[in-house]
Structure 1
Amino acid sequence: MESNFALNDFLPFRLNVLAQTVSERLSAIYASKFNLDIPQWRILANLASRGDMTAQDIARITYSHKSTVSRAVQELQNRGLIARKVSSADKRSFTLALTSEGRRMFRQLLPLVLEFERKLMASISDADARALLKGLAALETVLLGSDGETE
């Protein structure tokens, strides 16, 4: 055992554990009420917030494997929540878009996930919340670049 290494104080470890825990707790909300898994939620959330996108873009933004996104897209299509459209930029590719049913579901789901976030953030002071968000933004800029996406 390396006595000078405190894993629980190692930032990458703590961020990973926290991200996984938040994701699991949040997924309990949309899994139980909407029968969505984590990849499906991420696709719906990205389409709702960013508009039509390709599956490749979603995989890149969410750091998901292409096959994971592909399976989730297929299930969401089967449920009538998203549709594939021929890309206006490249007729050989497809973009994904929320259907009216997908938009309806997202509108029902959004208050629940925002309430989860509100309760989570209420557990720390306003000053700590601002500092946390500022610190995360700084780390994102260092690691991902100024646009917040992978370079």
Structure 2
Amino acid sequence: MAAGSAAKKRVPEPLVVLEEFLPYRLNVLAGLTSSALAQIYAERFGLSIPAWRVIVTLGQYEHRTARDMAPDGVMHKSTVSRAVSALEKRGLVVRRPNLDDRREELLALTPAGRAIYEAVAPQALAVEERLLSVLSPQEQRTLSSLIDRLTRQARQLAPHGSEEDEA
């Protein structure tokens, strides 16, 4: 075999082109968006991603159990529990007895926790607005619908949910 023919050896086509692979692309988008948001809640308020999710959930619903929050934020219950403990130590979250189920506690924001939520939420919405500003209103509605559909399909593919702590 001539030396030139070895150099012409055919390289197989890749099975996956990473930069075109939807899960990778979604992860990159989520990571970049999380980094933008982290500048608000991590740098300014010292909150981890799970802690931020707990603050936002309690800001939205007023009170929840750790079990209720886990699927909402696609976090494992133990991740929520650790975040709640850290927030409780900082005086941002309080536990109350759940009169409907004595095995669980209801979690709520303290006034200090509520103040962080009220300070961060508008800034987080501003990041979202800046991100979406490259899309027309119709494209934004379409994107939202597509994300909903893909999320439902992904939940069927992974029925036990993800225990990731990203985005």
Task: Tell me if TM exceeds 0.5.
Answer: yes
The residue number in structure 1 matching 2:136 is: 125
Write the letter of the residue equivalent to 1:14.
Answer: R
Structure 2 stretches lacking a partner, 5+ long: 1-11, 162-167
Write the letter of the residue equivalent to 2:71.
Answer: R
Q: What is the CA RMSD across the aligned residues, in angstroms?
A: 1.9
Q: Flag the structure with larger Rg.
A: 2
* 1:41-80 superposed Cα distances (whole Å, 9 cap, x missing partner): 0000111112311112222222223332222111111111
Q: Superposed, which structure 2 residues align to 1:1-151 within 5 Å?
A: 2-144=13-155
Deviation at 1:8? 1.7
The two structures have a TM-score, normalised by structure 1, of 0.85
Deviation at 1:102? 1.2
Write the letter of the residue equivalent to 1:95.
Answer: L
Write the letter of the residue equivalent to 1:48.
Answer: G
Deviation at 1:132? 0.9
C-alpha distance in 2, partners of 1:141/1:92?
Answer: 30
| Identity across matched positions, percent | 39
The two structures have a TM-score, normalised by structure 2, of 0.78
* 1:10-68 superposed Cα distances (whole Å, 9 cap, x missing partner): 21221122112211221121112212111110000111112311112222222223332
C-alpha distance in 1, partners of 2:24/2:67?
Answer: 28
Q: Which has the higher contact order (CA 8 A, sep 6+)?
A: 2
C-alpha distance in 2, partners of 1:58/1:2?
Answer: 44
Write the letter of the residue equivalent to 2:70.
Answer: A
Greater helix proportion: 1
Structure 1 stretches lacking a partner, 5+ long: none
